[in-house]
Amino acid sequence: MAAEGSRKNQIEKTWVTQTPRSPDAQTPRRSFWETGPLGNRVTQYITYIMNLANKISITRILLIPFFVAAIIYYSPQADFLRFVAAGIFILGVITDGLDGYIARTRKQKTILGSYIDPIADKLLLVTAFICLALASNFPKGYRLPAWVLLTIISRDVIIVLGSVIIYVIKGNLEVIPSILGKATTFLQMFVVISILLHFHYSFVIWNLTAVFTLLSGIGYIRRGSILLQE
């Protein structure tokens, strides 16, 4: 009887160890993208380019629709919306400096970041200028003149086209903002904030900004001409 019981226990143990586990009890299988060499490389690259600095730049782009909505739905009865728009724009300006600082200090500079950061800046600025020039619901004294808008957009278009031409001819391009260009960007941001806050002398700031925009545009054209002649 003891031998028979021992034999029965041994058979049961063998059956348990050899019988496959039910599908519900199986360990979830990892996909090819998680285990394959190509999948690992893709995952690592996505993690590399989607670092904190680039996420902040993308966030700046995502703020643009909310800024536009605040301008569109603004009215004297909903005066708080211009402060909402100003807050969104100031947040965008802060993230502009923050993503660059993080990229430098944490060594998170990437090719994607070198493109997406200036694109986010220009999208936010140009969108703000277009909205403030076309916003008929703003008081007339705080409506950006069309000629200022055209000056700013024309300068940016010339810089972009010039950069493309230099890249096609030379094969590479390293854009280094000039001091005048940085001052122009600062004034352009200041114009948007001053209009949204209904600063009484906003017209002085946008006239000064237009002058700086022209001068910096001429400076970039001269630098581009020198690069093409080298």
Domain that holds residue 145: 48-229
Whether residue 25 is predicted with pLDDT greater than 70 in this model: the reply is no
pLDDT digits (tens, 9 = 90+) for 64-73: 999 999 999 9
pTM, entire model: 0.74
Q: Does residue 109 form part of some domain? A: yes
Q: Are 129 and 149 in contact (CB under 8 A)?
A: yes
CA angle, 35 then 47 then 102, to 5°? 160
pLDDT digits (tens, 9 = 90+) for 90-139: 999 999 888 778 877 877 777 777 778 888 889 999 999 999 999 888 88
Q: Does residue 131 form part of some domain? A: yes
166 C-beta neighbours (distance < 10 Å), count: 19
pLDDT band at 229 (very low <50, low <70, confident <90, very high): confident
Q: Does residue 205 form part of some domain? A: yes
Whether residue 13 is predicted with pLDDT greater than 60 in this model: the reply is no
What CATH number does residue 79 fall under? Answer: 1.20.120.1760
Token representation of residue 82 = 């211009």
Secondary structure (DSSP) of 200-214: TTHHHHHHHHHHHHH
Q: Are 167 and 229 in contact (CB under 8 A)?
A: no
Q: Does residue 62 form part of some domain? A: yes
What are the Cα distances from residue 157, in Å, to 23, 132, 221?
61, 19, 12
What is the count of structural domains for the chain?
Answer: 1
The pLDDT mean for the chain works out to 81
Class of residue 168 by CB neighbours under 10 A (exposed 0-12, middle 13-18, buried 19+): exposed
Q: Does residue 33 form part of some domain? A: no
> What is the Cβ-side half-sphere exposure of residue 117, based on CA atoms within 13 angstroms?
25
pLDDT digits (tens, 9 = 90+) for 151-170: 999 999 998 898 888 888 87
In 3D space, the residue among 152, 161, 153 whose CA is nearest the CA of residue 228 turns out to be: 161
pLDDT band at 224 (very low <50, low <70, confident <90, very high): confident
> Rounded distance, CA 87 to CA 193, Å?
9
189 C-beta neighbours (distance < 10 Å), count: 20
Whether residue 20 is predicted with pLDDT greater than 80 in this model: the reply is no
> Rounded distance, CA 186 to CA 183, Å?
5
Exposure pattern of 117-154 as b/e (b: 16+ CB <10 Å)? beebbeebbbbbbbbbbebeebeeebbbeeebbebbbe
